Structure 1
Amino acid sequence: MTNLQERGHLLTEQVNPNSLNLDQLNALELVELFNHEDEKAVAAVAGAKIQLAGAIERTAERLHQGGRLFYIGAGTSGRLGVLDAAECPPTFCTPPELVQGIIAGGAGALLRSSEGLEDLAEDGESAIAQRHITQLDVVVGITAGGTTPYVHGALNAARQRGALTVFIACVPAEQVDFDADIDIRLLTGPEILAGSTRLKAGTATKLALNILSTSVMVRLGKVYGNRMVDVAVTNQKLRDRALRILQDLTGLSREAASFLLERSGKWVKLALLMHWTDLDKTAGEQLLSVHQGNLRAAVDSYKKEK
Structure 2
Amino acid sequence: MDLGTFETLLVEQDGDALVVTVNRPSAMNALAGQVIADLETLTLAVESQVGSDGRWPVKGIIVTGAGDKAFVAGADIVEMQSMSPDEGEAYSRRMQGVTERLEALPLPVIAAVNGFALGGGCELAMACDWIYASDNARFGQPEVSLGLVPGFGGSVRMARRVGAAMARELIFTGRMVKADEALRIGLVNRVYADPAALLEGAKATVAELATKSPVAVAACKALMSEVAPLPVPEGLDREAQAFRRAFETEDKVEGVRAFVAKEKPAFPGR
Q: TM-score, normalised by structure 1?
A: 0.30
- Larger RCO (alpha carbons 8 Å, 6+ apart): 1
Q: TM-score, normalised by structure 2?
A: 0.33
More strand by share: 2
